[in-house]
A and B are shown apart, each in its own frame.
Chain A
């Protein structure tokens, strides 16, 4: 049986040739993402800003205008009413009402009663009510989880490799996270707790990619002592290309199936993941590797820095073998 090969043997693409252009594009897209988040803002879900989110199914396709009237009569502030999935399924999001901690749950009860009165056939698929106090905590714990994950992972890489690698990984991660935020600011998809889980997974996946390439770079640095750095990085990326493509492909297949056939509730989650796979794969090649050029990884850098500020990190020098494992 002839087996399928996505990358022919002896492929040798000059990835690093485009590093300056790629870096410019990356930096521009990071700036654009930050600007988008700053100007348009994120469509934060009730998890983070408080309020109610209801998913209601009617027996008939819903008349959104009539529903708007029903909701508007009992809700203070702007309610967001959207159809999702089938035409008789509607999501209603209302802002956090003024008042004490339990104002949100009381408002949710009022709203539910009003909808049931106008549409006795309404079935509530889900009702989420979050008070201002809890939503603030959910937001800050989510942000901290992300922040600490990035820092902890970078420190791990610094110890396992070298400080340049840790920095490269951190930049690549920052790139992935920033762009995903940008995507959410651009599309105004709802940003909720699930999306934070998706972001953390993107961080993990992008790291997988970066580490596989870094592992090969470390190995080649030891193997080909005289090779130029750019040539060596190109070689390492080419050698791991088959794996990168195969793994990304399986991930993409999985996520596309989930996106098309999975429950609507996790649509945003899957969309974020899918986007993250693309930017994560790109950043592993075009951010984490070129940074090694600019921070001058190589035998000279290791020798010069011996005993310096990176004492304690594992030395990967040309004269030293990696510890056996």
Chain B
């Protein structure tokens, strides 16, 4: 067992050397690493708790997505049934309990209405799966209910779009190396290293940036407005900067043109007042709509609405034909710039809420690294000294294995591009302490066998063989624990589990295989005594 075939020696040496080699870039400064060949540039990432930066967890309201779908469906059904060729008269639509229901005035047209609605409820995919169920109740009431699969699809696609929009917005901010990952069905994690004040980022991400232009309903009388009653065909929206005092305004429901038809948005200055504004440009169809609407409504005010709140309501002095316009409001340069970014990157399909935020300043992170590394080095040295004092030559072997182990953990982490977090450092130090255990088990066994008066070779061979069973069982249980930590845990626990798992694998390799190789080399010199 102790005689190591040549191929095995090569394999073990190669594995160790490669593992340690991959650790090297992680200890070198950026400048040097950039000059290395590509495959050697992989390094251990430092978690935000060590490097400093912001971690933000955003959550989309799935209810919002569902409600919005029903609203869209309502619009679509209304348009479809109102088509002039075969108009079907319906009563008021209600959207209670996430269901859409309405009465068909003429009971004989119920079947025709269902026929016309049905194509709208089909999913976009080829599966033929329905997004909505349509049923008729009490003879003339049509009820449209969203299916679970349909809602799930809608959330999925909304999240995909949202992730893209967030990526664009963060890129526009010019932050370096942001990480944007979907988490679960309705969450997005945004990690930005180095960012210390996430307030601007949160504002940027929290803005849906749904821009609409609607005509102001000048027929609304102030008394009704105050009581929240809008004229038919209009709605009341908040208008915090209303120069007339009242913080609300009535606007027509119909959208003149929306932000979906923008092709560009930039922060600019109003040529007359020099106030910061956002200048926008529409695409062809948007420009046409805007031109038509402004031509027909010269000298009437229109409202610029952002996320359901009116920014400003200027008068249309002349038709705006060129396809570009200015959004004015009570902007600062920064807020105008932020709005421009949001508009350029498109509107979020769903409102995102910040549900978790962790920010670590770079000083604290650097301090943690310094202290963690210092403690790690001191602890390692203490353990190394103890091992030599207790096991002599075999302690030296164990120590060599330990050093290889540390380098290999770093190397493997670099290969997998794993992230080292603060609990990760603790896991690291722990692995160092625990890795010693395998060698302690082996060496104590060797001592026992030695007392039984066997030959040196037999002593060492039996020692390794007998100790392996316990080493195997002990490490398997730890891998089980680490796997569960990784699966169930979040954030710090995951980071800890990664380091622990890698550490367990490399420590079994170095503590058992590598030390045995050393022992077999030593035995080749036919030692006369074994001092352990």
Q: Which of B247-255, B405-413, B465-473 has 4 or more CB atoms under 8 Å from chain A?
A: B465-473
Q: Which of A34-42, A69-77, A118-126, A291-299 has 4 or more CB atoms under 8 Å from chain B?
A: A118-126
Residue-wise interface mask of A (244-283) relative to B, using a CB-CB cutoff of 8 A (1 in contact, 0 not): 0011011101110110111101100110010000000000
CB within 8 Å for A109 and B199 given contacts A207-B477, A253-B383: yes
Smallest CB–CB gap between B359 and chain A, Å? 4
CB within 8 Å for A261 and B375 given contacts A3-B392, A123-B363: yes
A64 interface hit (Cβ, 8 Å): no
Structural contact, B361 and A123, CB atoms closer than 8 A: yes
Interface size range on B against A? 35 or more
Q: A7's closest neighbor in chain B, by CB?
A: B444
Q: Which of A12-20, A25-33, A148-156 has 4 or more CB atoms under 8 Å from chain B?
A: A148-156
Tell me the dominant secondary structure on chain A's binding face.
helix
When distances are taken between beta carbons in the complex, the residues of chain B under 8 Å from A157 are 473, 477
Query: By CB atoms of chain A within 10 A, which of B355, B389, B444 has the most?
Result: B355
Smallest CB–CB gap between B229 and chain A, Å? 28
Smallest CB–CB gap between B454 and chain A, Å? 16
Question: Which of these, B59, B378, B391, B489, contacts A142 with CB under 8 Å?
Answer: B489
B422 interface hit (Cβ, 8 Å): yes
CB within 8 Å for A149 and B481 given contacts A160-B473, A258-B429: yes
Question: Which of these, A142, A253, A255, contacts B493 with CB under 8 Å?
Answer: A142
Q: Which of A130-138, A175-183, A225-233 has 4 or more CB atoms under 8 Å from chain B?
A: A130-138
Residue-wise interface mask of A (196-212) relative to B, using a CB-CB cutoff of 8 A (1 in contact, 0 not): 11001101110110011
Number of A-B contacts (CB under 8 A): 238
CB within 8 Å for A156 and B477 given contacts A254-B432, A258-B426, A262-B371: yes
Name A's B-contacting residues (CB within 8 A).
Answer: 1, 3-6, 9, 55, 57, 100-102, 105, 108-109, 123-131, 133-134, 137-138, 141-142, 144-145, 148-149, 152-153, 156-157, 160, 193-194, 196-197, 200-201, 203-205, 207-208, 211-212, 215-216, 219, 239-240, 242-243, 246-247, 249-251, 253-255, 257-258, 260-263, 265-266, 269-270, 273, 322, 325
Name B's A-contacting residues (CB within 8 A).
Answer: 49, 57, 59, 196, 199, 202, 206, 353-361, 363-364, 367-368, 371-372, 374-375, 378-379, 382-383, 386-387, 389-392, 422-423, 425-427, 429-430, 432-434, 436-437, 440-441, 444, 447-448, 451, 466, 468-470, 472-474, 476-478, 480-482, 484-485, 487-493, 496-497, 500, 531-532
Subset of 23 A-B contacts with CB under 8 Å: A101-B59, A108-B357, A123-B361, A123-B363, A124-B196, A130-B355, A131-B355, A145-B485, A152-B484, A194-B422, A197-B427, A197-B489, A197-B497, A200-B485, A200-B493, A212-B441, A212-B470, A215-B469, A247-B437, A247-B440, A249-B386, A263-B368, A265-B364
